[in-house]
C-alpha cells in the first residue's frame, strides 16, 4: 500500500501566483481531508469529501481557496491568488469514511508551501 | 464548538523512563472519539492510539497507554520505556460521533524530547 500521496512536497511561489496542491488517497478509501498546519493556528481542517462530495468546507479560509475531487483517486486544493499568509504545510488525509465508527485517518507527507 | 487543549508545549524524558502528556477537551456531547497522533521531524502524522468515549477501559498499544477520565474531560498519553524514536510532536485530537461528522479537532501539540 503506497499510502496517501501528495505532490509537490515543496512549493515556493510568489505572491499573486496560482498554486495547486494534489492528493491521491489510499485506494478503497471513501473520505478525503485537507488540513493546514501553521505555528500560529496549529492543525486545522479546511475541507473534507465523502464519496467525492464536499461535506464540510467551513474551514476554507476565503474565496481564494477551492478544492475539488473529480474522482475517487484524485483531489486538488487550489489557491488563487496566493498570499504570504498562506505559507504553511498542507496535509491530505484519507479514511474509509465509516459512519459511527472510530475510523482512522491516514495522512500524507504534506506539502510545504512558501509564498514570497 | 469542541476545543482541545494541550497545556504542555514541550516535555522531555530520559531514555527508558516514562512520560505523560496531558490533554483536555471541551464538549457537550456524550459520544465521541479521542486520538493521539505523532508527528516526527519527517512531518508524517502517525496514529498512536485511539479511545472510544463509551469504553471505560483505557486503550493500550504496546508502550503507549492512555488515562481517559470522561467526567474530567481528560485524555493523557503515557509513554513507557521511552526510546529515542519517540521524539516528536504529539497531537491530541477529538472527533464527534453524532451526525456522522468525520472532522478531527486537534490540540496545538506537545514537543517531546528524549534524552539519551
Q: pLDDT tens for residues B5-64?
A: 999 999 999 999 999 999 999 998 888 999 999 999 988 899 999 999 988 889 999 999
| The pLDDT value given to residue B100 | 67
- Whether A109 and chain B come into contact, CB under 8 Å, resolves to yes
Per-residue pLDDT of chain A (116 residues; tens, 9 = 90+): 689 999 999 999 999 999 999 999 999 999 999 999 998 889 999 999 999 999 999 999 888 999 999 999 999 999 999 999 999 999 999 999 876 666 889 999 999 999 99
Structure-model confidence comparison of residues B88 and B2, the more confident one: B88
Does A56 contact B101 at a Cβ distance shorter than 8 Å? Answer: yes
The predicted structure's pLDDT at residue A62: 82
Phi and psi at residue A65, in whole multiples of 5°?
A: -100, 135
Per the CB < 8 Å rule, is A102 touching B46?
no
State how far the Cα of A52 lies from the Cα of A46, in Å rounded to an integer.
15
Under the banding of pLDDT at 50, 70 and 90, the label for residue B97 is confident
> Distance between CA A82 and CA A13 in Å, rounded?
8
Pick A102's closest partner by Cβ from B42, B50, B103: B50
| List of chain A residues whose C-beta atoms are within 8 Å of the C-beta of residue B50 | 102, 104
- On chain A, the residues whose CB falls within 8 A of the CB of B38 are none
Residue B26 backbone dihedrals phi, psi, to 5 degrees: -125, 120
> Does the CB of B107 have a partner CB in chain A at under 8 Å?
yes
B111 class by beta-carbon count within 10 Å (0-12 exposed, 13-18 middle, 19+ buried): middle
How far, in Å, are A36, A113, B78, B90, B108 from residue A44 at the CA level? 5, 16, 25, 15, 10
List, as ranges, residues 78-97 from A with C-beta within 8 Å of B. Answer: 89, 91, 93, 95, 97
Amino acid at each position: 500500500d503506497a499510502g496517501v500521496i501528495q505532490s509537490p512536497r515543496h512549493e515556493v511561489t510568489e505572491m499573486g501566483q496560482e498554486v495547486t496542491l494534489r492528493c491521491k488517497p489510499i485506494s478503497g478509501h471513501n473520505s478525503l481531508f485537507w488540513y493546514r498546519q501553521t505555528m500560529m493556528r496549529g492543525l486545522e481542517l479546511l475541507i473534507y469529501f465523502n464519496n467525492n462530495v464536499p461535506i464540510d468546507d467551513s474551514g476554507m479560509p476565503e474565496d481564494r481557496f477551492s478544492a475539488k475531487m473529480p474522482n475517487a483517486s484524485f483531489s486538488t486544493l487550489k489557491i488563487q491568488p496566493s498570499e504570504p499568509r498562506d505559507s504553511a504545510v498542507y496535509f491530505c488525509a484519507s479514511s474509509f469514511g465509516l459512519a459511527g465508527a472510530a475510523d482512522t485517518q491516514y495522512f500524507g507527507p504534506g506539502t510545504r508551501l512558501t509564498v514570497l | 464548538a469542541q476545543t482541545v487543549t494541550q497545556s504542555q508545549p514541550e516535555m522531555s524524558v530520559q531514555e527508558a523512563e516514562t512520560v505523560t502528556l496531558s490533554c483536555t477537551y471541551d464538549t457537550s456531547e456524550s459520544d465521541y472519539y479521542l486520538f493521539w497522533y505523532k508527528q516526527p521531524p519527517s512531518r508524517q502524522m502517525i496514529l498512536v492510539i485511539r479511545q472510544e468515549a463509551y469504553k471505560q477501559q483505557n486503550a493500550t498499544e504496546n508502550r503507549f497507554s492512555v488515562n481517559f477520565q470522561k467526567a474530567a474531560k481528560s485524555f493523557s498519553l503515557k509513554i513507557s520505556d521511552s526510546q529515542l524514536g519517540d521524539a516528536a510532536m504529539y497531537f491530541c485530537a477529538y472527533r464527534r460521533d453524532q451526525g456522522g461528522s468525520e472532522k478531527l479537532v486537534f490540540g496545538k501539540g506537545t514537543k517531546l524530547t528524549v534524552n539519551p
